[in-house]
Amino acid sequence: MQIEITSDPSELGTLYSWLRADRDLLRTADVTAAAGAGGTMNAVEVINLVLTHVAAAANFGLAFEAWRRTRRRPQPLTLTRPDGTKLTVDPDSPAAKDAILEFLSK
């Protein structure tokens, strides 16, 4: 799955750092980033998240919710599954975590 925040690339960088620091998530998922080229100063453009088993979805949901609560004005993010199906969520919404978990369970 890929994660993007196009409205504020620096927010994607903070989410990536948060996910990479979450030991529970890293035990159940592979988290990598694709850096920008040229003028983006190697900023994170996309987070790649490979969920290695079922618990990974729950761990990602918990990590996302914890990150969301630290943001003053979280920006909408888009999740893209390998089949191209997309979900855009407003992290400011308390229902965002549930929407993400539902998206990951399909």
Looking up tokens 């761990």 gives: 59
Asked if pLDDT for residue 63 goes beyond 90, the answer is: yes
For 65-88, the pLDDT digits (tens) are 899 889 888 789 999 999 999 999
**Tokens, residue 60:** 């990602």
pLDDT value for 68? 87
Give how many domains the chain has, as a whole number. Answer: 1
Q: Does the pLDDT at position 45 exceed 60?
A: yes
The C-alpha atoms of residue 11 and residue 85 are separated, in whole angstroms, by: 22
Task: State pTM to two decimals.
Answer: 0.85
The pLDDT of residue 106 is 79
Question: What's the token pair of residue 2?
Answer: 């890929």
Q: Give the amino acid at 104.
A: L
- Residue 35 or residue 104, greater confidence: 104
Give the pLDDT band of residue 37 (cuts 50, 70, 90).
low
pLDDT given at position 89: 92
- Inter-residue contact 16 to 32 (CB < 8 Å): no
Supply the range of the domain harboring residue 40. 2-105
pLDDT of residue 41: 53
